Amino acid sequence: MSPHRLFRIVAVAEAITWALLLTGMFLKYVTETTELGVRYGGMLHGVAFVAYVVTTVVVAVDAKWSPGRTLVGLLAAVPPFFTIWFDVAMERRGALPRAWRLRTEQPAGALERPVAALVRRPLVGLLVGVVVVAVLTGLALLVGPPTG
């Protein structure tokens, strides 16, 4: 899977889970009918948020994004649906490559070495990504589980 396709899938998933969470909040706080949307939509959104952050960092390292572009990409996960805006903006600028640079190029530096290892072995990279997202989501819940 290319960086472009991976980023698009995760950015859209993050936006969809925002919609689920917002719908859940409407049902809980406006119509006062159920809190299930917040409970499940919130958890799904939390996982998608963490996956988006991890994906953004990996793509940013591989594509040699500037720190500023990377920061904007990370901040795009905060307001609802901005991940789609950022994805489209990066595609228009040609900043989402169709192939992983570090799959063939020698890594330079401490950040590129682990990313190169992950993109050169996609199944291992996927497994590591899933584990990292699960661990970070678990830590976030330990530090401050959502209340309401």
pLDDT digits (tens, 9 = 90+) for 37-96: 888 888 899 999 999 999 999 999 999 999 999 999 999 999 999 999 999 999 999 999
What's the N-to-C CA distance of the chain in angstroms? 38
Is the model's pLDDT at 145 over the cut of 70?
no
Confidence tier at 147 by pLDDT (50, 70, 90):
low
Lowest-confidence pick of 8-22, 58-72, 128-142: 128-142
Is the model's pLDDT at 148 over the cut of 60?
no
Which pLDDT value is given to residue 35? 87
Q: Contact at 8 Å (CB) between 24 and 42?
A: yes
Please state, in angstroms and as integers, the Cα–Cα distance from residue 123 to each residue in 33, 41, 64, 127, 139, following that order.
43, 28, 23, 6, 24
Lowest-confidence pick of 7-11, 56-60, 140-144: 140-144
Domain boundaries, the chain: 3-143
Which pLDDT value is given to residue 31? 92
Q: Contact at 8 Å (CB) between 45 and 21?
A: yes
pTM: 0.92
> What is the C-alpha to C-alpha distance for residues 102 and 116, in angstroms, rounded to an integer?
5
* Residue whose pair of structure tokens reads 């720190």 in the numeric block: 67
